[in-house]
Each structure stands twice: as structure tokens, then as C-alpha cells.
Amino acid sequence: MKRRYLSLIPFEDALEKMRKTAPSPRKVETVLLDSAVGRVLSEAVYAKFSVPGINVASMDGLAVHSSDTRNAADRSPVVLSDAVRINTGQPLPPSYDAVIMIEDVWEEDGKWLIRKSAAPWQFVRPAGEDIRKGDLILPRRHLIRAIDIGGLASYGIAFVNVLSVKVGIISTGGELVPLGMTPSPEQGVESNNFFAEAYLSRMGATCKRYPLVPDDREKIAAQLLLAVRENDLVLLSAGSSAGSTDYSAEILKDSGKLIFHGVGIKPGKPVMMGIVEKTPVLGMPGYPVAAHTVVREFAARLLEYWGMAPHPTYTVKARLGQNLSSDLGYDEFVPVSTGKVDGRYVVIPLSRGFGVQSALLKSNGYIHIPSSAEGLEAKQEIDVTLYENPSFMERSLLMVGSSDTPLQILADCMVDKNITLRCCPTSNLGGILALRAGICHAAPVHIPILKDHTIPDQLKAQKGLSIRRLVIAEQPFGLATRNAVRLEDLKNLQIMNSQRGTANRLLLDAVLARDGIPVSALKGYENELKNPDMIASNISSMIADAGICTQRSAANAGLRFLPLGIDAYELVMRADTLEDPRVKEMIEMIQSDEFKERLVQNGGFDTGSTGKFRI
């Protein structure tokens, strides 16, 4: 029987163990200047000569002795008897100490006249004005930027000495396929190696991705030995948990020394560290969100300790949009979407599922819940670590609600307006509550419409909240099945339902009430899924016989469709938000022919009401 993790150690203890057992390799590499961007200097760089090397003119004009111009004025011009024509950048002749711009010189009878005196060293760049020989150009441990290259070249630096850290990245798993191959339903494309390479390379490391290794202990061990001999740090992706094919811990113990296995951190609890042939090895879970956390909180911190450049981050105080629970004893890192609403920063937590990689793509930062806290309370002011400059939020709109295709099309259209739409997925009610709390600009919601029958309107229950409802798009709602059925056949079918409060559920309940079909007569009414696509997929997979979804979801799953009503996808906004310039531009885009054409081309949506206000 495989052992589970060793006893979990605290996050800070794990970091301390990592630093103590993995000292800096202290390796240096000399690179040509044109290959130096993104590398970290191992030593300070000093100027080889002064720039400029001698006094030079900073303007086109005449080189003069300033004392010869002392009495020049509009009413008493001075004729220059000793002046030299000079151009910008040319050396100043010996004994001359000023330049007069050619625009301030008059030529009469072959002589130069001036009507204004010149101050000593006027329009002269003195020797060493930019930099003097031996002056510091860039300090040790500086991450070389593109802007640095021109200066280094100007100061005569043809090559530089940089820190050399090589990182090997090994991915394992029989369920993975390489990028470029289409995975089967039970497989996934390996992505952790690409993320780790991109993240650590920006710190100045040189990364190497090794070929994907199947779940074979001998093959993984052989690849690991090769990697530790070629690199200063090795990342081992997947195989760190307690499954029957998770060999990483055993391999580290057999090949070297296992320092720790299991840390009080979420996500990423199975993280491990070992030393093999004096090279540190970090084992991380295969789940993308967990792997992201381990790379950022362990691998990147180790590289920083070795002197590599940290990723730029920004910290702001923001108002938390909802309660956030956490287990005592675990340091938890939660991806978030942060925006600026009504002049203050607000932060919305995103999905905490370890495999939900889309949460990372939607995020622009994260929050850290310390191990001593059981969570954070809504409306609390908390520290948020951002990946982007907070100024970007001045051109962003924060949405909380249903993230559907029309909103994604709208977000793409708004790029041309230099406005970013960020959507935090949740239920209709969750979006409206966020709007009421003032933590978003708008709430995208699905509203079911059934002809000749009134469906309870969730929005009417929001007393004291003055709102406007703008239609984004509409599409048919109905019953999806594998075979042609009538509505009255529902009693004989296994159905798949959606969660309470969703448009699907409201429509189904309204249809049942209208036709006098009791809920108790339906098999599977209590089986709930999150969205129409999941319902259609379950019907297609024969897990259920029928369910309410959109015509688009049914068509994508190859199902038959019986229309019952309309799914109106609307944007709900507070009335006072309509004066926001960003919101105005968004409304103009929704009402534009360009957006309506995109809706028809990309999803076949009904745009007859698009851009119209319901209330």
C-alpha cells in the first residue's frame, strides 16, 4: 500500500528548509549584449569611457567666446569677429565656451550679428555630461531590459556577465498528451511545463522542457537523473500526490534525499522537495492551479533567493466582495479579479478548483489567506497582490454574473475601445447581490421568457435598487433530447435539471406549472448541473434522457430540440452607472451594427432586441 503524505509542515517552515538545503549555485555566464535582455547581472557594470568624450555642441549655430557677446542687445547688435560655424554633436573648438543657435544669428555683408549675449557654456554638452569613465551604469542583480541595451552599447559594453541558473522541467503522466495533439475525452494537454518555463525565464533563468514521460517509475527516474546533471533546479510535474502511479516521492528517496513532502498550503498541498546529486528537485501536483501556486511560491522564491529578478507585482487595499472561508493551518492563495468601482478597489474571488485553469486566465491577481485565519469577511479591506499596474483598472469594467458567449464577443469588441471587461462567473442572484453591494459595474443575467405565462422575476425583488436592463442577445430555450418527444412524455424520461435560480430551472418550473405536471412525477428533477452545456453533454452521454437548455447547446451536442421559450441574456446596471464614460462606450458598442453582426456570425443569436432597455 502506498503511503500518504508525510505529516504536513507549515508553509514558512517549508520555505526555510528549501533555502537552507538549496544554496545558490553561484554560476556566472558571459553573454553578448544582443542576447542579454531578460538576464540578471552578476556584477555591476561601469562605463569604459566618458560620454561625450569632449565638449560638444548641443545645437546648430556658432561657437563663440561668451565674453565677446557681453554687450549684445536688440538696439546694439554685436558683430562677431571670432566665431566658428558648428553643428549639433560636433566638438567645440579649443578656447570657445558657448554656442549661439543659428536662429539667433543675422548675416549682413558677410558678417555675423547677434542681438543677445551668450552665457558661458550655453548649448554646450560638457565632457562626461551623460556619464564619466568609471561611473556605475547598472548595479549587480539588475534585470536587463530592452531600454538598457542602447545605453550599454553607447558606453562601450559589448558583453556582460550574468547569473546563470538552469532549470529543467519534467512532466509525467499517462493521461497527458503533448501540445499539438488533440486529447481524447479522458486525456489532457500538458501545460504546466510551458507555464513554468515562461514564468521562470522572465526571472532570468534558462529553462529546458524535457519530453513527456509516462507513468513508469524507471523511465521517470532515468529522466530525473539526466535533468539533475544538466541543471541547477529541476521541477517534476505530477506524481506528487498519493495515487497508485505517483512515484515522485519514492524516486527522490531512492535517488537522493527527500526534504519534505506535504505542506500546509492550498492549492499545492502535495508539494515536495528533495536533493539528488546536490541538485534541488521540486515535485508539484499536476493540477494547473496547484502547479501555478507551487511555481510562484516555491520555485520563484528559490530563484529570488539565488539573486534572480522577481516578477513585478503591485499591492492594493481592496474591499472583498464575498465571505471567503479557509481551513486553519493552511496558507491559501486564491485567484481574484480586481476592479475599481465608484472610485475604490473591489476584489472578487474566482473558482478555487485545483483544475480550473480558466480562473487563472480571468484573474489579475491573488489574495493570501494566512494559516492563522479561518477566512475573510465580505466588505473587509484586504491586501491584494496584482500582476498588472493598478492604473489599468481605470479602463476596465468589472462584471459579476453569467459569463456567456455574447459577453465574450462584447469583451473582444471593447478591446478596440481600450476597455477591458472582466467577468466573475456566478448565478443570476449572485450577480444582482454584487450589484446591490456596489462591487461591480454590471451583472450579466439570463432571464427566461415564456409566452402566455408569467415567470417570477428575480430582479423585481431588489427593492431600493434603481436598475436598468439592457438586452445583449436572445436565443430559444427548450427541451433537449436524443429522440423526438412531446412535452407530456417528460413523466417517462430521466431528466437532468439545473441549479435553483437559473433561467433553465425557472423555465422548467414554469412549464410544469402551466401544464399541470407535478414535480414529483419527474424522475431526476433533483439532479442539478451548473449550465446548459453540461446538461446537453449528460443527455448526449446517455446519463439522462432530457433537460432544459438553449438551442445552441443542444445543437452542439447533436441533440433534438423542442422550443419552449426564450433565453434573454441581459446586462443589469445601476441607473447611476450609466454616466460612467466606460459604461457609455460599452452601451454604444452593444447597440452597434458591428456587435450585432458578430453575434449572428459567431452564435446565431437573435439580435432583434439587442441594445434595447427593458426598463
pLDDT digits (tens, 9 = 90+) for 292-316: 999 999 999 999 999 999 999 999 9
The pLDDT assigned to 533 comes to: 86
Question: Are residues 282 and 193 located together in one domain of the fold?
Answer: yes
pLDDT value at position 2? Answer: 46
Predicted local distance difference test score (pLDDT) of residue 529:
86
> What is the CATH classification number for the domain harbouring 145?
3.90.105.10
Confidence of residue 29 (pLDDT cuts 50, 70, 90): very high
Average pLDDT estimate for 66-82? 90
Q: Give me the phi and psi of 148, to 5 degrees please.
A: -75, -25
For the cut 50, the answer to whether the pLDDT of residue 68 exceeds it is: yes
Could you report the per-residue pLDDT of 488-503, keeping only the tens digit for each?
888 888 988 888 878 8
- Among 283, 305, 327, the domain boundary falls at 305
Alpha-carbon distance values, 376 to 106, 335, 366, 436 (Å): 75, 14, 14, 20
Q: Are residues 181 and 281 in the same domain?
A: yes
Q: Please check whether residue 424 is in contact with residue 350, taking contact to mean a CB–CB distance below 8 angstroms.
A: yes
Please count the residues of the chain.
615
Pairing mode, strands 78-80 and 56-57: unpaired
| Residue 448 sits in the same domain as residue 594 | yes
Looking at the predicted structure, is the pLDDT value of residue 5 above 70? no
Residue 173's pLDDT band (cuts 50, 70, 90): confident
CATH of the domain at 354: 2.40.340.10
- pLDDT, residue 457, reads 62
DSSP 372-429: T-SEE-TT-EEEEEESS-GGGGGGEEEEEE---HHHHHHHHHHGGGT-EEEEEE--HH
**348 and 401 co-located in one domain:** no
pLDDT of 179 higher than 60: yes
How much of the chain, in percent, has pLDDT values that exceed 70?
A: 95
Q: Considering the entire predicted model, what is its pTM?
A: 0.84
Q: Is the residue at 83 inside a domain? A: yes
pLDDT attached to residue 397: 95
- Does residue 355 have a pLDDT over 60? no
Q: Are 224 and 281 in contact (CB under 8 A)?
A: yes
pLDDT, tens only, 434-482? 998 899 999 999 988 887 665 666 665 556 678 899 999 999 988 999 9
**311 and 288 Cβ atoms separated by less than 8 Å:** no
**Please, which pLDDT band fits residue 604 given cuts at 50, 70 and 90?**
confident
In a domain, 6, yes or no: no
Confidence of residue 40 (pLDDT cuts 50, 70, 90): very high
CA–CA gap between residue 95 and residue 92 (Å, rounded): 8
- Spell out where 252-393 has E strands: 257-261, 265-266, 272-276, 279-284, 314-320, 324-325, 331-341, 344-349, 365-369, 375-376, 381-386
Residue 237 domain boundaries = 11-25+165-305
Could you tell me if 474 and 612 lie in one domain? yes
Query: What is the reported pLDDT for 1?
Result: 40
User: Are 414 and 558 in a shared domain?
Assistant: yes
In this structure, the answer to whether residues 424 and 521 fall within a common structural domain is: yes
Question: Does residue 230 carry a pLDDT above 70?
Answer: yes
**Among the listed residues 457, 460, 430, the one whose alpha carbon sits nearest the alpha carbon of residue 444:** 430
Residue whose cell numbers read 507555464: 195
Question: Coil, strand or helix: which one is 268?
Answer: coil
In a domain, 45, yes or no: yes
The C-alpha atoms of residue 141 and residue 163 are separated, in whole angstroms, by 8
Confidence of residue 351 (pLDDT cuts 50, 70, 90): confident
| pLDDT tens profile 360-392 | 888 999 999 999 999 999 999 999 999 999 999
Reduced to 3 states (helix: H, G, I; strand: E, B; else coil), residue 508 is: helix
For residue 18, pLDDT over 90 is answered with yes
- Percent of the chain at pLDDT > 90 equals 66
Instruction: Report the greatest alpha carbon distance in the chain.
Output: 112
- Count of domains observed in the chain: 5
Q: Does the pLDDT at position 241 exceed 60? A: no
Q: Determine the pLDDT at residue 454.
A: 59
User: 120 pLDDT exceeds 80?
Assistant: yes
Question: Mean pLDDT, the chain, as a whole number?
Answer: 90
* Residue 577 sits in the same domain as residue 590: yes
| pLDDT for res 6 | 54
β 233-237/206-209 pair status: unpaired
Cell (9 digits) for 276:
539528488
Which one, of 196, 182, 213, 358, lies nearest residue 291 by Cα?
A: 196
Determine the pLDDT at residue 455.
65
Residues 369 and 466 in one domain: no
Q: Are 516 and 569 in contact (CB under 8 A)?
A: no
Residue 314 is predicted with a pLDDT of 95
Mean pLDDT of 522-532: 85
pLDDT tens digits for range 470-491: 999 999 988 999 988 888 888 8
